[in-house]
Amino acid sequence: MTTFGAKLPLTYRREIAAPLFDLLRGGESAAIVGPASMGKSRLLQFLQRPDVQQHYLGEEAARTWLVLVDCHRLAEVSEWGLYELMLTSLTEEAGQRLDQAMRGWLNDLRREAITGANPLLARRHLELATRVLCREHGLRLCIVFDEFDQLYRTLPATALANLRALRDMGKQDERYSVCYVLMVRDHPARLRPPAEVEGFYELFSRSVIGLKPFGEEDARRVIAQIVARRRRVVAPDQEAAVLALSGGHPGLLVALCDLLSNGCQVPAAGDLAAWALAQPPVAEECRKLWEGLADDERLALSRLAHGIGASYTLRELLALKGLIRPLEQGAVEFFSPVFRQYVLSQGKLSDRELWLDEGSAVVWVEGKPIHGLSPLEFKLLRHLYRRLGQVCTREEIMADLYAGEARAPGHTGGDNRVDTLVRRLRKAIEPDPERPRYLLTVRGHGYKLVDQAGGSAGDDERALTRAH
């Protein structure tokens, strides 16, 4: 991500730093969950600054190490790869803090772990190094795993159990000398069933912190730093527009500020979100954010952008990541009108090609809303949708749509009314009513609705007429 320039003040990201350091002071572990381009790298750099640690940890800072384990550096995704990288990271951290003899000893352990390529040897060396640093040197080690998603998904459960054991070994004075911080893009409970790695998961299950867009103070500082570096002046109304459009998202802030620095002016009126999304750098930031989300998160965002509800669990997850903000009575607000506009232009509202939302009385076909159904057409569609994939006879449809009338003595003409209604519904929902894909005829039985494109040229209304 683009750097901002001047040294960040101690108040930077305090909504994350304060609770995180409170946990670390007590020897507790945590997980920080944040989507793409949310400023994770810069946050890590900030957390590792000695003055920041002094500010939050006080006298504990001198004997607390934040050891960054960048999982992009793994030699291989395995137990041995994990232990070797942790030992390497400890050795590198010691290079600036301990005397030459201690550095040499750690380096020898690391070298043996690398050349041996044996997971048990690497684990024992890591345990030995940790024990000596914590017990003999009085240190407290906070192991920060960056880009930990893949490892968390794929490592054997025993490897994560060994990390829990390493932490348990270091308990002193009712506090743990070893703790962990996981930097991940998704909630750990979604990366892997908690029951598979129960002991490790419970370390941070109650201490998950969301990496969200900047607050106003940090966002204004970013704008000031970027425009100062470009030697430009931004008017107050332009700054306000950038704040509103970006919602504080670091990537969007940088993209919009770069546009201003290059001479592009935010329009004084009109649809500002549409204007911003038409700018390629802004659209690219939205794309990266969107592509970094899971399919069910995208579906939930699409539904929320269209004013349709999403599950409580997904709303909580999206709020944790700062992509939406809860409002009163279950409503939500997107962090950025630009990203909401992008979501409206993307994806579907369901993993089905045909999807009905009974609450809004709108059917979605291949990502497009179908409006204007008559009450009877919607009632027929609802009847078929509730029995999706099943054949519905004309008698069943008549009994639902014309309650009691189909069974009245002397009643005639029901088939024609159902057939006529089906033709009208097909005209409304089918891309090609003459070759229906979703509302299919089952000869001799009735109709069925399917949620994926199906059907054939033979299953059209003419075939129905011939059969009956």
- The answer as to whether 60 is a domain residue is yes
Q: 65 and 183, same structural domain?
A: yes
Lowest-confidence region among 89-93, 145-149, 167-171, 236-240: 167-171
Select from 61, 83, 59 the least CA-distant residue to 71: 83
Residues 6+ apart with CB under 8 A from 450: 354, 388, 389, 437, 438, 440
Q: Kindly indicate the confidence band of residue 330, based on its pLDDT and cuts at 50, 70 and 90.
A: confident
Using one digit for the tens of pLDDT, what is the confidence trace for 38-78? 999 999 999 999 999 999 999 999 999 999 999 999 999 99
- Asked if residue 188 has pLDDT above 50, the reply is yes
Residue 225: predicted pLDDT: 87
Q: 219 and 202, same structural domain?
A: no
User: Bigger pLDDT: 325 or 232?
Assistant: 325
- The answer as to whether 9 is a domain residue is no
Q: 114 and 152, same structural domain?
A: yes
Q: How far apart are CA 360 and CA 18, in angstroms?
A: 43
- Asked if residue 98 has pLDDT above 70, the reply is yes
Is residue 347 left, alpha or beta, with left meaning phi > 0 and alpha meaning psi from -120 to 50?
left
Q: 149 and 58, same structural domain?
A: yes
Which residue in this structure is represented by tokens 């040897």? 121
User: Bigger pLDDT: 263 or 242?
Assistant: 242
Q: 280 and 204, same structural domain?
A: no
Question: Average of pLDDT values for 218-237?
Answer: 85
Rg (CA), the chain: 30
Question: Average of pLDDT values for 372-383?
Answer: 90
Using one digit for the tens of pLDDT, what is the confidence trace for 100-143? 999 999 999 999 999 999 999 999 999 999 999 999 999 999 99
The CATH number of residue 201's host domain is 3.40.50.300
Q: Kindly indicate the confidence band of residue 231, based on its pLDDT and cuts at 50, 70 and 90.
A: confident
Q: Kindly indicate the confidence band of residue 466, based on its pLDDT and cuts at 50, 70 and 90.
A: very low
Domain end marker among 158, 189, 210: 210
What angle do the packed helices 280-291 and 250-261 form, to 10 degrees?
170
Domain end marker among 190, 210, 230: 210
Domain end marker among 210, 225, 245: 210
Q: Kindly indicate the confidence band of residue 463, based on its pLDDT and cuts at 50, 70 and 90.
A: very low
Tally of structural domains, the chain: 3
Q: How far apart are CA 386 and CA 376, in angstroms?
A: 15
User: Bigger pLDDT: 410 or 468?
Assistant: 410
Residue 351: predicted pLDDT: 66
DSSP 3-state of 262 = coil
- The answer as to whether 56 is a domain residue is yes
- The answer as to whether 338 is a domain residue is yes
- The answer as to whether 423 is a domain residue is yes
User: Bigger pLDDT: 410 or 405?
Assistant: 405
Token pair in block for residue 421: 């209604």
Q: 32 and 173, same structural domain?
A: yes
The CATH number of residue 424's host domain is 1.10.10.10
Q: 337 and 360, same structural domain?
A: no
- The answer as to whether 2 is a domain residue is no
Q: 222 and 128, same structural domain?
A: no
Residue 52: predicted pLDDT: 97
Q: 73 and 55, same structural domain?
A: yes
Q: How far apart are CA 395 and CA 374, in angstroms?
A: 21
Give the domain range for residue 233.
Answer: 214-311+319-347
By the 10 Å C-beta count (0-12 exposed, 13-18 middle, 19+ buried), 63 is classed as middle
- On average, the pLDDT of the chain sits at 88
Q: Would you say 141 and 181 are in contact if contact means Cβ atoms under 8 Å apart? A: no
- The answer as to whether 5 is a domain residue is no
Count of positions (residues) in the chain: 468
Q: How far apart are CA 77 and CA 150, in angstroms?
A: 9
- Asked if residue 299 has pLDDT above 50, the reply is yes
Q: Where are the alpha helices (DSSP H) in 48-99?
A: 50-57, 79-94
Distances, alpha carbon 219 to alpha carbons 72, 108, 247, 451, in Å: 29, 46, 9, 44
Q: 268 and 374, same structural domain?
A: no
What stretches of 267-378 adopt beta strand conformation (E)?
A: 324-326, 332-334, 354-357, 362-365, 368-370
- Asked if residue 453 has pLDDT above 80, the reply is no
Q: Kindly indicate the confidence band of residue 415, based on its pLDDT and cuts at 50, 70 and 90.
A: low
Distances, alpha carbon 79 to alpha carbons 71, 92, 143, 266, 460, in Å: 13, 20, 16, 52, 59
Q: Give the Cα-Cα-Cα angle 188, 193, 199 (nearest 5 degrees).
A: 75
User: Bigger pLDDT: 415 or 461?
Assistant: 415
- The answer as to whether 68 is a domain residue is yes
Within a 13 Å sphere around the CA of 243, how many CA atoms are in the beta-carbon half? 18
Residue 456: predicted pLDDT: 41
Q: 451 and 424, same structural domain?
A: yes
Residue 236: predicted pLDDT: 87
Using one digit for the tens of pLDDT, what is the confidence trace for 261-278? 777 777 877 789 999 999
Q: 241 and 365, same structural domain?
A: no
- Give CA 367 to chain center in angstroms: 21
Residues 6+ apart with CB under 8 A from 272: 241, 244, 245, 266, 337
Question: Average of pLDDT values for 342-353?
Answer: 78
Residue 348: predicted pLDDT: 66
Percent of the chain at pLDDT > 90 equals: 65
Question: Average of pLDDT values for 228-238?
Answer: 81
Residue 414: predicted pLDDT: 53
Token pair in block for residue 74: 């793994």
Residue 172: predicted pLDDT: 67
